[in-house]
A and B are shown apart, each in its own frame.
Chain A
Amino acid sequence: MADAPEEFHTNHADKDERQAARRARVEARSANESSNNQSQARSNASGVHKSKGQRQISGSLSHLDKHKGGGIASVTNIRVEADFRENQRRIHEEQLRQDRLQRLQEEAVRSGKQNAAVEMRWAELLDQNMPQELHREILSQKKSCSDIINSKDELIKEFQQQLKSKDEEYVKALKQQADDVEEMLQRMRTEFKDLQEEYETELESIERAFLEERDELLENNKSEIDGLFEKRRAMELTYMTMKQEREEQYQREIDDLLVKDAEEYNKLKIKLETDIQTLEQQLEEMRATYQLNTEKLEYNYRVLTERDNENTSTLQKQKKKLTKIKDDLSRVVQKYQEFDARDKKRNEELSEDYRRITKQYKDLQSKFRHFELADNRKFEAIWSMHEEEVDTYVVQALKADQIINEQLLGWTWRAPDLEVVRNPAMLGADEDGDGKFTLEELEEHKKKLAEEEEAKKVHVPADKIRSIVSLISEEAGFILDASVKDAIESLPNTQAASVAQAEALLKALGVESEEDVSALSNYFFVDVKQEKDVLEDLNEEDAAPEALERLQKLIQPNHVITAINKFVNDRKEDADAKENKTWTVDVAGAGDALEKKKPKEEKEFWDRMANIISPASHETWKHLEKSLKEYTNILENRARGIEDVSTLTSQNQELKELLNQYLGSRINEELIVPPTDTIRLGD
């Protein structure tokens, strides 16, 4: 940095020198800056080898900076000069102003003094008496005044002179300004041109530097590549020689191996040839034995083929037969299936019909029972209603009879026994037993029947039924259909199977209701009743299964079939009997006799009720009515006569009052002859 100022001089004549100076300057600066820039670091390290272009650029930039600075300075110089001039002028101006002020002041002082002197003289003038003296004095006074004026005029003149010079100065300043502007433009223009040229030359030199650098780089790269190629060639050569050596060595090894292997091969060959000879001998022997065997087998084969032919012919015949039979079988099976299907269908239809009709029949029966009950109830209600009505009428009639007898006829009336009239059965049960039956008794009878039935039902316990069913199934299993049996057997559960079997059996026997079951049980136990009764007290304490076993023992298995036969026959007879019965016979059974007697009794009852009043008294009532009607007529005539009498008396009374009125009036007094005087009342 110490010797930098010398290097910064750009006034060297030679261009190369200047460039060198520039370079040195740049170096100095980069050293000072101690930048970590890579290129600069490299330049510091190698000293000579650094980017020429970079150096050129920085050098050019600093050079241009300098140039620009110079240009700007030269342009602004004009302004600065003008400023300087202006400043000087102002200082001068100020001095002049001060000067002027001073002179004005001096002038004022001087003229003031003179003025004072003149004033003083004016006072002296008044004292003058002599005209000549006065004239002289006045003249001198005049002169002194003109002196003052002159001095002032001079000052004014001077100032005007100054003003004029000022004007000139202004014009000069204007001219100077114009010149300055011109000069400035000129300088700017030249500066611009210089700068442009400078830029161009710098650009050129930068470009050249870059090109040089590029050439150098190219050179370097080329030499580097050449060196690399050389190196490669040498390496290839060494590689070739090494390869040849290796090849020769391998060749030798191969030859040795070949010789050794040939010897071994010969030995092995001899040994194998001897082996082959022995094996050939063996082969010949074996061939002879094989020949013999072949001939034997040949013969056997021929015999077997013959047999085979026979077998095949018989097989064919059998096959034909088989096919024919199979055809027949299939036809028959088909026919059977057709029939079977048709019959099954029909069977199903018929069973369906049967089931439906049975159901309808049962429904009808239940309906019939229901309506019958309803009718009975209705009849009873109507009956009781009518009875009450009749009772009231009878009582009314008896009362009327009593009144007629006692009040009108004055006879003593004897009341008939009402209870007897109402229910003659009450008098004597032995008189008419059946007739005594009332509705309540009917009900009682019915209740009794129901109790009996219930008792019947209770008499058939479940274990009994089970034993019966098991007996039947053991002894008379044939009653069941084969198909039903199959169905039952197909059921997995033994319990369910036994239940199903029992149902099927009962159905086959025609046992449908609880009564039927009890009836059936009766058939089974009827033979052993006595024994059972005997055993009953013994069995009471025993467990149920033991009782069952005993029961089973009591029913002889031999008699089971006869018992069943009997039961079925009886049932059939019952059914026939039932069909013969007419519908007029009441199903209820127990109320038959009562129903037959009922209409007759009712008729009697109504007759009794109708004749509660006897025909004799009826006759009496007729006569009584007739006489009473006559009596009424007489009474009516009398009433009419009483009414006439009362009207006549009232008329008489009115006439009497009228007469009194007439007589009492005033006009009588006015009359000449008052009627009052003429008429003399009977009073």
Chain B
Amino acid sequence: MPPTLDNSSDPQPTFSVGSTTSEPSLTDQVKRFKPRKFKEKRETLLSKDPSQNNPSHEKLSLKCIKVIVSNFDKNPSHSGIPASHVREITSRLPINLDPKKSAVYVHDESYWKRACLQSLSPSECQIVEHGLTWKQLFFENHLQKRLEGFKDGDDIEVLLEEIEKFQDYIFCLRFRQMPGHIDLDRLTASLPNLTKIDLQYNINKIGMDFDRRLFGMKISDASCLAKSVKDSENLTSIVLSGNLMDDDLLRMLMTGLYKSSTITHLDVSHNKITNHGVRLLAKLLGTKSVLTSLNVADNQIHAEGGRYLGRALRSNDSLSDLNMRLNRLTDEGGRMLLEGLRDNQSVTRLNVSGNSLGSESTSALSVVLREQDSELMILDLSSNRLSDADVQVLSATMERNDRLISMDMRMNSTTDGNEDLEKIQEKLHYNELNLRS
């Protein structure tokens, strides 16, 4: 802590010159700062409330509110109650109401904030990821928990009936385990606002009951998902990270993806996709493609896959973010991918770390970076096999490039204290400053 802040505890801190002017210096502002006290307004109200001592002094409206609150579960209604009292009622409602009823009758965000903060862990309360509304946060978490607890024998109709009550508040379908392998098609059909699907077919905390077959996506799941993707009109983002997905599953999924014109974000990282799978994915990147972000990190893609992608990127003008981290592209595959990038004017972010790239890829990359039209801004080349000579080539290239602002070259086979590396970093910094101004 700085010494200035320590003084803030003093009753009369000594201010510097100019403290009385209308715009005091920052240190004075810091000294004057007092943390706001967040008192529970309702608590103070209740403590002063005479009704606690004598129930007969209680206001009739307060009594009514109490009765409504206690019977809200049985008879939920807001009609005919003034707005001020509605607020009072929602502030008094217990958070363990039946979600089916509260979804329809409770609209006050403060109630949902209360419910989320008390029932969910802090890591789950990321309101930014849920459209900045607590109600959406609550119900998306609620649905996730219901789905993760869905067993094989459970009745899907009961679940669908429940979902119908709060279907308007679900924008993101997400689960981290799925023991029941639910029919996704029916599920998504009942969610009109769905824009994002984030699925992981795993079993958490399985302990000694481990079975290899319990993990990963199944053919039926893939076909259901493909169908729901095909039918949906709002879906823009699909995340299928870590699902042990192989080429066959991907092919099944592709039957849906080909026919969708809304998916802009596709994440199939941490799967078992090989060159064949990449060939399928490359078809998604045709001229009519709307895909802007593709993540195939940590798969088993070899040089051949790099060629497919490079060929697809030549004619593509939508993809801006490509992640190929931790694959087996090798130097040849990297070259073919980067050669494809030469004619491309949309990719701004490229991650090819951990792909054993070498001098061939470097020369291809330098060609790309020399292009005036190149939009590439962020590049990750870490954990490859770039030598000092390669770095020198890149450094020479970078002198004429004004777009690139970040290039990660760590963990390559370069010697420490390479001057070319520093030159590159300096140029990148300069580019970044230019971009900001």
- Name A's B-contacting residues (CB within 8 A): 4-5, 8, 29, 33, 35, 73, 76-77, 80-81, 83-84, 86-87, 90-91, 94, 200, 203-204, 206-207, 210-211, 214
Given contacts A4-B426, A5-B422, A33-B437, A83 and B383 within 8 Å (CB-CB)? yes
Q: Contact between B2 and A200 (Cβ–Cβ < 8 Å)? A: yes
Q: How far is the CA of A8 from the CA of B18 in the complex (A)?
A: 36
**Contact status B25-A83, CB under 8 Å:** no
Mark each residue of chain B from 380 to 423: 1 if its CB lies under 8 Å from any CB of chain A, else 0.
Answer: 00110000000000000000000000001011000000000011
Q: Indicate if the CB atoms of B27 and A83 lie closer than 8 Å.
A: no
Cα(A211)–Cα(B15), bound, Å: 13
- Given the known A-B contacts A4-B426, A90-B328, A210-B25, are A29 and B433 also in contact in the complex, defined by CB atoms under 8 Å? yes
CB pair A83 B353 closer than 8 Å: yes
Contact B433 A83 (CB under 8 A): no
Please tell me the size bucket of the interface on B. Answer: 20 to 34
Chain A contact surface mostly: helix
State whether A84 and B25 are in contact (beta carbons under 8 Å apart), knowing that A5-B422, A8-B426, A73-B410 are contacts in the complex.
no
Q: In the complex, which residues of chain A have a beta carbon less than 8 angstroms from the beta carbon of B16?
A: 211
* A86 partner residues in chain B, CB cutoff 8 A: 326, 354
Closest residue of A by beta carbon distance from B412:
A84
CA distance A203 to B1 in the complex (A): 12
CB distance from B338 to the nearest CB of A (A): 18
> Which of the residues B2, B410, B426 comes within 8 Å of A80, measured between beta carbons?
B410
**Residues of the B chain whose Cβ atoms lie less than 8 Å from the Cβ of A5:** 422-423, 426
Task: List, in ascending order, chain B residues with CB within 8 A of A84's CB.
Answer: 354, 382-383, 411
- Chain B residues with CB under 8 Å of A206's CB are 26
Q: Which residue of chain A lies nearest to B406 when distances are taken between CB atoms in the complex?
A: A69
Encode B292-329 as 1/0 by CB contact (under 8 A) with A.
00000000000000000000000000000000011010
For A200, what are the chain B residues with a Cβ–Cβ distance below 8 Å?
2
Q: Tell me whether B356 is interfacial, beta carbon within 8 Å.
A: yes
Residues of B within 8 A of A8 (CB): 426
Q: What are the 6 A-B residue pairs with the smallest beta carbon separation, nearest first? A: A84-B383, A87-B354, A84-B411, A200-B2, A80-B382, A83-B354
CB under 8 Å from chain A, chain B span 355-401:
355-356, 382-383
Pick from A4, A83, A203, A204: contact of B411, CB below 8 A.
A83
Q: Is the CB of A83 within 8 A of B2?
A: no
Provide the bound-state CA to CA distance between A84 and B353, in Å: 9
Q: Establish whether residues B326 and A80, one from each chain, have CB atoms under 8 Å apart when the complex forms.
A: no
CB neighbours (8 Å) of B383 from chain A are 80, 83-84, 87
- 14 further A-B contacts with Cβ under 8 Å, apart from A33-B437, A73-B410, are A5-B422, A76-B408, A80-B353, A83-B325, A83-B353, A83-B383, A87-B356, A87-B383, A91-B328, A200-B2, A203-B26, A204-B2, A207-B25, A211-B16
CA distance A204 to B326 in the complex (A): 44
Q: A87-B356, A90-B328 are in contact. Are A80 and B433 (CB under 8 A)?
A: no
A4-B426, A5-B422 are contacts. A207–B27 as well, Cβ < 8 Å? yes
Task: Determine the distance from Cα of A8 to Cα of B382 in the docked complex, in whole angstroms.
Answer: 24
Is A80 in contact with B325, judged by CB distance below 8 angstroms? Answer: no
Distance A87 CA – B353 CA, assembled complex (angstroms): 10
Q: A29-B433, A83-B325, A214-B18 are in contact. Are A91 and B356 (CB under 8 A)?
A: yes
Contact between A83 and B26, CB atoms less than 8 A apart: no
The interface residues of chain B lying within 8 Å CB-to-CB of A211 are 16-17, 25
Complex Cα–Cα for A8 and B17 (A): 35
Counting chain B CB atoms within 10 Å of each CB, the highest count among A35, A73, A83, A204 belongs to A83
Could you say which residues of chain A place their CB within 8 Å of the CB of B328? 90-91, 94
Q: Do B426 and A87 have beta carbons less than 8 Å apart? A: no
Minimum CB–CB distance from B27 to chain A (whole Å) comes to: 6
| Whole-angstrom CA separation of A178 from B82 in the bound complex | 57
Of the candidates A29, A73, A80, A90, the one having the most CB atoms from chain B within 10 angstroms of its own CB is A80
Compute how far the CA of A129 lies from the CA of B16 in the bound complex, rounded to whole angstroms: 121
Complex Cα distance A83/B382, Å?
A: 9
Closest-CB distance, A125 to chain B (whole angstroms): 46
Give Cα distance in the complex from A115 to B325, angstroms.
47
Residue contacts A-B, CB under 8 angstroms, 23 given: A4-B426, A5-B426, A8-B426, A76-B408, A77-B410, A80-B353, A80-B383, A80-B408, A81-B411, A83-B325, A83-B326, A83-B353, A83-B411, A84-B354, A84-B382, A86-B354, A87-B383, A90-B328, A91-B328, A210-B25, A210-B26, A211-B16, A211-B17
- Chain B, range 326-347, C-beta contacts under 8 Å to A: 326, 328
Question: Which listed residue (B2, B18, B355, B408) contacts A203, Cβ 8 A?
Answer: B2
Q: Which residues of B contact A35 (CB under 8 A)?
A: 437
Q: Of all chain A residues, which has the CB nearest B437?
A: A33
Complex Cα–Cα for A211 and B19 (A): 12
The answer for the CA separation of A214 and B19 in the assembled complex, in Å, is: 13
Cβ-defined contact, A207 with B410, below 8 A: no
Cα distance A211–B25 in the bound complex, in angstroms: 8
Q: What string of 1s and 0s marks CB contacts (under 8 Å) between B1-37 and chain A?
A: 0101000000000001110000001110000000000
* B123 to A: closest C-beta gap in Å: 15
Cα distance, A206 to B16, chains bound together (Å): 15
Shortest CB–CB separation between residue B194 and chain A, in angstroms?
32
Q: Which chain A positions have C-beta within 8 A of B354?
A: 83-84, 86-87
CB-defined interface of B419-437 with A at 8 Å, one 1/0 digit per residue? 0001100100000010001
A80 touches B356 (CB 8 A): no
Chain B's closest residue to A200 (CB) is B2
Determine the chain A residues whose CB is within 8 A of the CB of B422 once the complex forms: 5
Chain A neighbourhood of B2, CB < 8 A: 200, 203-204
Q: How far is the CB of B390 from chain A (nearest CB, A)?
A: 16
State in angstroms the CA–CA spacing of A676 and B2 once bound together: 196
A80 to chain B: which residues have CB within 8 Å? 353, 382-383, 408, 410-411
Cα(A5)–Cα(B430), bound, Å? 12
User: Shortest distance in angstroms between B14's beta carbon and chain A's nearest beta carbon?
Assistant: 14
Contacts of B4 in A (CB 8 A): 204
- Please measure, in the bound complex, the distance between the C-alpha atom of A496 and the C-alpha atom of B199, giving whole angstroms: 128
CB–CB A207/B437 < 8 A? no
Bound-state Cα–Cα, A91 to B16, Å: 64
Which residues of the other chain, B, contact A91 by a CB distance below 8 angstroms?
328, 356
List of A residues within 8 angstroms of B410 by Cβ: 73, 77, 80
Cα–Cα distance between A77 and B410 once the two chains are bound (Å): 8
Per the bound structure, the CA–CA distance linking A206 and B27 in Å amounts to: 11
Q: Are A207 and B325 in contact (CB under 8 A)?
A: no
Q: Which residue of A lies closest to B425 (CB)?
A: A69
CB-CB nearest in chain B for A35: B437
CB within 8 Å of A: which B180-229 residues: none
Would you give the shortest CB distance from B13 to chain A, in whole angstroms? 15
Contacting residues, chain A, for B355 (C-beta < 8 A): 87
State A87–B330 Cα separation when bound (angstroms). 11
Closest partner residue, chain B, to A94 (CB atom): B328
Bound-state Cα–Cα, A210 to B26, Å: 10
Which residues from 125 to 181 on chain B have a C-beta closer than 8 Å to any C-beta of chain A?
none
User: Distance in Å from the Cβ of A475 to the closest Cβ of chain B?
Assistant: 116
**Once the chains are docked, how many angstroms separate the CA of A8 from the CA of B433?**
15
Q: Is the CB of A87 within 8 A of B408?
A: no
Nearest CB in chain B: distance from A55 CB, A: 16
Q: Is the CB of A87 within 8 A of B25?
A: no
Which residues of A sit under 8 angstroms from B25, Cβ to Cβ?
207, 210-211
Residue of A nearest to B328 (CB): A90
Complex CA–CA separation, A83 to B4 (angstroms): 44
Write out the residue numbers on chain A whose beta carbons fall within 8 Å of the beta carbon of B326.
83, 86-87
Please, which residues of chain A bring their CB within 8 A of the CB of B356?
87, 91
State A150–B27 Cα separation when bound (angstroms). 83
Q: What's the minimum C-beta distance from A211 to chain B, rounded to whole angstroms? A: 7
Closest residue on chain A to residue B410 by CB atoms = A80
- In angstroms, Cα B27 to Cα A81, docked, is 42
